[in-house]
Amino acid sequence: MAEEDELLDLVDENDQVIGTILRSKSMLVHREGRGYLRAAELFIRNTDGQLWIPRRSMKKSIAPGGLDYSASGHVASGESYEEALRREVKEELNLDIKWESLKLIHKFPPVGDEPKFFRAVYIYESDEVPDFNRDDFTEYYWLTPEELLTKLEASELAKRSLNC
């Protein structure tokens, strides 16, 4: 199944599954307000407190060339947030991380009109630069949270949810 046709869970305002939708049809969720989707997002943080922030490939349909989380993605149907994140980390960063290595920072409810996602944001502690997938990312930076915020406030191109 192509990534665009990945089956996603559709959830209600309590993050309870109410159905499924193909990723290629997920814009209907945003336009029609028929529920919410789920996303898992990760920051890699080194011992100096810097975050590993990659730049998205120009091939990406969302925020091409923009800054991104260390890894992120939709939660597929039947997956937990942690399972989705482990899958994305393996695909995007060629890392096989253990459950206990992930620390949930916060689970955000959907905000405003868009994006219509429940978002679970995690931290993974590591000083290693991942062997990232060059189809997903082109370069990276080690930035303090303050440096990242400065870039975002200066209108640096970035994935929209990174600004939320």
Tens of pLDDT, residue by residue over 118-145, are 999 999 999 999 999 999 999 999 999 9
Q: What is the C-alpha separation between 120 and 38, in angstroms, rounded?
A: 8
Which residue blocks in 8-101 are alpha helix, DSSP H?
Answer: 27-32, 81-93
pTM comes to 0.89
Domains of the chain, by residue range, sit at 3-163
Tens of pLDDT, residue by residue over 33-83, are 678 999 999 999 999 999 999 999 999 988 999 999 999 999 999 999 999
Helix (H) or strand (E) holding 36: none
- CATH of segment(s) 3-163: 3.90.79.10
Which DSSP state fits 47? T
